[in-house]
A and B are shown apart, each in its own frame.
Chain A
């Protein structure tokens, strides 16, 4: 059970003067249960890439396999794929439309043709998973705050109980508290269900704490693809493409340069605290 991208290319507006190669020869293997951070500068092709994973965009070259089947075969069930690979779009609150929060979350599972009871159970569970309090369930989604809307939209996809959850910049435009809450929820959810999660972001800080693997995109190509620690070793290269390693990485590098015996591979504040205390003890 996995997603495989084989020499995937995507050209927007092919054959016109606006032709733009957004993806260039992408080869990836995404095994089950991994927590992946997809990182890249604005316009590097992250959103384009994730829309290929659930078949919404058709590659202009190459193939995509989900659980061993080519998703663009004529007899492949695209609708089922949409439910298996759940994609939460950038600014997902723009897709809300129902009169109340609960019915909006029901939209996804209802489209799967489930019984009314099952639909409601799933919607309820999803809203609980994103941590929205009961009092909001029967309010208009348009009356909620930005962070709450975002949660409702994420619940709308979770309610379809996907095997793979892709979130395109779920924290864009949220304050630090809202951001941490959402990311913590997602991490918790993944612990609970063991589903594959792909988190798109342009902030290393956001993902460093949570993910097992980081894929760095640059100008439509995969630039780095490794464990967070390994990726952050290339912080100079990352800076060149408009990204940066987490700030602790810089602090550790600086401490090392100033003669402290610390590990420079540290990526979270917790680890850094421990390492600095250890270094000072001696």
Chain B
């Protein structure tokens, strides 16, 4: 159940997407998200869908794995759908009681849903194919120029990588504590809202304690390895662009151009 949340989890396999430089993947994801908000017609969305499908195919991550992640945003999706469906003014198609569904509303709702799903899937592909370490390495390198403006780039990247790294650990821990309390007769499912909230105490208290303990241990471990931030630190595996990374940038550029062209032609 908890394992359904795929965001921030790495899927181990060997594919061309996995081997790409993390900077490429970060830039691509950002470009892709922007493209989703730029395109505004069916052709554009088909293009975005095809691009996503191609990347997923190349990444060798089972589609099942990604669809599972969708469940966690189902609620958000439904809300967005309802709001768009009923609250967009325009040509009325159906109307009952005080509510009316408009042609524009339907269009808006469908686009909104597609956009959200693509958005989440697109970013999932990145986190599923890039280890948190690579991700923050890439981020640090990309944001490097900001150091001139006294932005603590390395520290931010480090915090991100720790946070990302701890998501699966905490999920696992939650699973374990939940099972341990169930073995003591705890019931996390039945009862009304208040009872359910109360039943979370035996889960949350040990979880927080364990999170603090882990944070403490980690701080201690970093300290004893003489960690002292970004200044003068070298990398064991410095990021260097390879041929495939240049090709990938080219492909992304082509995609963006196509998106813009589609938008223009069908405007």
A residues apposed to B, CB below 8 Å: 15-18, 51, 54, 56, 79, 82-83, 86-89, 92, 94-97, 107-108, 110-112, 142, 156-157, 160
Determine whether B181 belongs to the interface, using a CB cutoff of 8 Å to chain A.
Answer: yes
B residues apposed to A, CB below 8 Å: 11-13, 62, 64-65, 176-177, 179-187, 201-202, 205-206, 209-210
B184 touches A108 (CB 8 A): yes
- In the A-B complex, the 5 residue pairs with the closest CB atoms: A111-B185, A97-B205, A95-B180, A108-B184, A87-B183
What is the distance, in angstroms, from B214's C-beta to the closest C-beta of chain A? Answer: 11
A82 touches B206 (CB 8 A): no
With CB as the reference atom, state the residue of chain A lying closest to B3: A13
C-alpha gap A88/B180 in the complex (Å): 8
Residue of A17, A18, A92 touching B180 (CB-CB under 8 A): A92
C-alpha gap A15/B179 in the complex (Å): 23
B interface majority secondary structure: helix
> Given contacts A16-B11, A17-B11, A94-B210, are A157 and B62 in contact (CB under 8 A)?
no
C-alpha gap A51/B13 in the complex (Å): 29
- Which residues of B have CB within 8 Å of A56? 179, 182-183
B177 touches A82 (CB 8 A): no
A17 touches B185 (CB 8 A): no
B206 touches A17 (CB 8 A): no
Residue of B62, B64, B185 touching A82 (CB-CB under 8 A): B185
- Which residues of A have CB within 8 Å of B64? 15
> Given contacts A16-B11, A18-B12, A107-B184, are A97 and B202 in contact (CB under 8 A)?
yes
Considering residues B62, B179, B183, B210, which has the most beta carbons from chain A within 10 angstroms of its beta carbon? Answer: B183
B184 touches A94 (CB 8 A): no
A111 touches B12 (CB 8 A): no
A108 touches B185 (CB 8 A): yes
With CB as the reference atom, state the residue of chain A lying closest to B202: A97
Residue of B62, B65, B185, B201 touching A83 (CB-CB under 8 A): B185
A160 touches B185 (CB 8 A): yes
What is the distance, in angstroms, from A89's C-beta to the closest C-beta of chain B? Answer: 5
- Which residues of A have CB within 8 Å of B176? 89, 94
- Which residues of A have CB within 8 Å of B62? 15-16
- Which residues of A have CB within 8 Å of B205? 97
- Which residues of A have CB within 8 Å of B65? 16
A142 touches B209 (CB 8 A): yes
